[in-house]
Chain A
Amino acid sequence: MRRREFYRSIAALGCALLTASASFAEESAQELVRKAWDQQRGQTSVAEITMTIHRTDWERSMSMRAWTAGLDDALVRVTAPRKDAGNGTLTKDDAMWSFAPKINRVIKIPSSMMNQSWMGSDFSNKDVSRSTDIIDQYDHVLLETSEHEGKKVYVIESTPHEDSAVVWGKEVLTIREDFVLLSQEFFDQDGVSVKRMEAQEVGLLGGRPMATRLRMAETDQTEEWTEILYESLDFDVDLADSIFTLSNLRNPRE
C-alpha cells in the first residue's frame, strides 16, 4: 500500500518536471524567434538591397532601398533599373500601399491581392507586409538543438494559432545561437514542405551577424527562385515619422 503511494508520488514528480522543462523550452523558443526578428529589423533600419528573380527563361535584378521602424512600418523603393525606378511599397500595420511613377498613383493593395507575387518575385505581398506575424500569431516549440560550424543551431517548429490569418500548417525555423535566421520553411497542413527561404551567406551587417544573401523558392522548384542580397544595412538610424506616410511614398523626400 505504502509502496504504491510512493510510486505514485514519484510519477507525479516526474510529470511536473517534464511539464516544467517543456514550458521552459517553449519560452525560450518564443524568445529565440523574437530575438532573431529583432536582430533583422532593429528599432529602425535602412538597407540597400538587390533582388534577383530567376525564371527558366529569364532573370532580372532590381536594386532597392528599404526603411523599417519597429516591426510594423516598412517602406521599400526601387532605385534601378530605370524602368522600375520609383516604384514603391509602404506597409503599415496590416495595410499595404503601392506607388508607380508611371501611373502616378498611390494604390492600396486590396485584400484579394495580398497573396499575389510582390513585384514579380517568389515573395507574396503578404510575406512582405506581414512578416512579423510569426511573433504574435504562432506558438513555437524547440524541436532540436545541433552544432553547425562550431555554433549551436536551434530548430524551432512554429504552429499558427487557430484564428490566425495564416494558411500554413507549420513553419520550421533554424536559428543560430547568435540569432541569425538560417532558414524558414513553410509546410502545408499535411506536413509537406511548400516553400523554403534559406540563408545563402551569413556575414556582419550594421554590426550584427545577419544572413546577407537569402533565397526563396518553392520546395520542388530548383529553376525558379528569388534572391535577396543585402548590399548594406544600418540599424537604429534616426528616421523621421514622415518617412512612413503615403505622401512620402508618392513624393520621396529621401
Chain B
Amino acid sequence: MATLRLALQLGWRNLWRNKRRTGIMLAAIGVGAWAMIFVTAFSRGMVDQVVRDGIRALPGHVQIHHPGFRDDPSVATLIDRPRADLVAALTDEAVTSWTSRVRVPAVVSSERETRGVTLVGIDPETERDISFVADDLVEGRFLESPEDKGLILGRKMAERLETGLGKRVVVMSQTPSNDIAERGFRIVGLFESELEAQELGFAFAGEEQVQSLLEIGDRTSEIAIAVADLEKVKPVFETVEAAAGEEVEVAPWFEVDSFLFSLHTMMDSFVYLWVIIVFLALSFGLVNTLVMAVFERVREIGLMLALGVTPRNIRAQIVAEALLLLVVGLVLGNVAAWVTLSLFKDGVDLSVVSEGLQQMGAASVLIPSVTLEDVLTANVLVLVLGFFASLSPAWRASRLEPVEAITKV
C-alpha cells in the first residue's frame, strides 16, 4: 500500500518535471478521449434514431400476423382477434402496450388527385403508445375511438392530393370477396414525419370503421406489442409465441427488420473498434513519452537502484506515471466531450444531406446519444491498454545496471 502511494507520489512529481512534454501528451490523450466519446455518441445517436424510428414506424417490438402477411399485406391475410389465452399473455408486465390494426392497400381520392396509400385502421387509445402517429400529429386532432369517423393523413399526402384539414376525401379498397369498398372520410388530423415515405405511405382511420368498410367483421391484420425496453423483447416474444397458436406468425422486431437489427449490433463492435484505433494512434506517443522520461532519468534510476530501491518499485513508478498521465488526459477529454456534446444537446441539423440519410432511414436532425456504457468502455479500455503499453518502458527501466546507469553521461 505504502509502495503504491509512494509510486503515485513520485509518478505525479515526475510527470511535471517536463511540463511541456506532459502538456503535449495530455493534449493528445484529451483529443483522443474526446474523439472516442464524441464520435461514438454521434454514431450511436444516429443508429438509435434509426432503430427507434424504425420500431415506431409501425411494427412495435413484437408483432403477430398471418403467415402470409409480410409478403402480401392485404385483406387476404387477416387474423382473428386475440383469444383469451393470448390476451392473458399480452397482459405480461413487460408489455407496456399492445394494439390491433387493420392494414390494407387503398386509394385516397380528392377532387383533383388520386394516390395509393396503406390504410391503417387503429385503436387510438392503445396505438398512441406504440407508433409515431399520435406524437407526430401537427394539426387537428388524433382519433378518439375505434369508431371515430375521421381520417389522419400525412401533411405531404394532403398537399399532393390538394386537400387539407377538415376536407372530405374518398377512401377506396377491396373487400375479401373482391368488391369495391369505398367511403367518404373527413380529414381530422395531419401528421408530419421526418421521413417522406411515412407521410406519403399511411392514412389512419378508426379500426371499426375500416373493418365495416372492408366487411371483415372483427378480424384484423396485425397485433403490435411494445415492451418496456429492448432487453425485454426476447422473453415477451417467447411468451407470446407460445400463447399465439399455430395459425399465426409471431415475430420480434429484429426478425421483421434485419437491417435495423444488424445496424444495432454493429454499433457495439464499432465502439470497440473505434476506441482501439484511437488508442493505438495514441499509444505510440505514450510509449515514446515514457521512453524519453526513462532515458532522461537513467542516472537517477541507477542511483535509486544502487541505493536499494527494488526494480519492482521502479516499475510501479513508471507505470504510475503512465496511468496518471492517462487519467488526467482522460478527465480533460471527458470534460471536453461533455461540453461539446451539451452544445449539440438539441441535435445537429443535417438537412444538407437529408436525402442520403433518408435512404438509410435516418431523420435529418441528429441527436447525439451518450451512454454510460460507451463512456466507461472508452475510459476503461484506454487505462487497461495504457497499462500494458507502459509495461515495456517500465521493464527496461527496472533492468538497468546501476553502475552503468550512474556513469552514463
Q: Please give the residue numbers on chain A whose beta carbons come within 8 Å of chain B beta carbons, in ascending order.
A: 94-95, 108, 110-112, 114-115, 160-169, 186, 188-189, 194
Contact = CB atoms under 8 A, between A and B. Distances in A.
B96 interface: no
B184 A166 contact: yes
Contacts of B173: 111
Most central of A160, A162, A165, A194 by chain B CB within 10 Å: A165
A112 B107 contact: yes
B212 to A, nearest CB: 11
A162 B186 contact: yes
B168 A162 contact: yes
Interface in B149-164: 149, 163
Nearest to A93: B179
A110 B107 CA distance: 11
Given A166-B184, A188-B110, A189-B168, 6 more contacts: A111-B172, A112-B172, A160-B168, A165-B170, A165-B182, A167-B110
Nearest to A187: B111
A171 to B, nearest CB: 11
Nearest to A129: B180
Interface of chain A: mostly helix, strand, loop or mixed = loop
B169 interface: yes
Contact of A163 (B114, B180, B183): B183
Contacts, number: 64
Given A163-B183, A167-B169, A188-B112, A108 B149 contact: no
A183 B109 CA distance: 24
Interface in B79-112: 107, 109-112
Most central of B107, B168, B183 by chain A CB within 10 Å: B168
A108 B172 CA distance: 15
Contacts of B174: 110-111
A167 B109 contact: yes
User: Shortest 3 CB-CB distances between A and B: which pairs?
Assistant: A165-B182, A188-B111, A111-B172
B178 interface: yes
A112 B116 CA distance: 8
A145 B186 CA distance: 32
Nearest to B107: A112
B181 interface: yes
16 contacts: A95-B179, A110-B180, A111-B174, A111-B182, A112-B114, A115-B107, A115-B114, A163-B149, A165-B182, A167-B110, A169-B168, A186-B111, A188-B110, A188-B111, A189-B167, A194-B112
B104 to A, nearest CB: 11
B112 A162 contact: no
A165 B107 CA distance: 12
A108 B116 CA distance: 19
A164 B168 CA distance: 10
Nearest to B178: A108
Contacts of A188: 110-112
Nearest to A94: B180
A164 B184 contact: yes
Contact of B111 (A162, A164, A194): A194
Given A169-B111, A189-B111, A114 B184 contact: no
A17 B178 CA distance: 50
Contacts of B149: 162-163
A94 B181 CA distance: 9
A186 B112 CA distance: 11
B180 A114 contact: yes
A160 B184 contact: yes
A137 to B, nearest CB: 9
Most central of A110, A160, A169 by chain B CB within 10 Å: A110
Interface string B161-202: 001000111101110001111111010000000000000000
Contacts of A110: 174, 180
Contacts of A94: 179-180, 182
Given A94-B179, A114-B180, A165 B172 contact: yes
B397 to A, nearest CB: 81
B107 A111 contact: yes
A112 to B, nearest CB: 4
A115 B109 contact: yes
A167 B170 contact: yes
B180 A162 contact: no
Contacts of A167: 109-111, 168-170, 184
A194 B170 CA distance: 16
Interface in B214-249: none
Nearest to A96: B180
A111 B181 contact: yes
A163 B150 CA distance: 10
A38 B198 CA distance: 46
Nearest to A165: B182
A165 B184 contact: yes
Contacts of A162: 149, 168, 184, 186
Nearest to B167: A189
A184 to B, nearest CB: 15
B119 to A, nearest CB: 12
A166 B170 contact: yes
A169 B112 CA distance: 12
Nearest to A188: B111
Contacts of A189: 111, 163, 167-168
A206 to B, nearest CB: 31
A94 B180 CA distance: 7
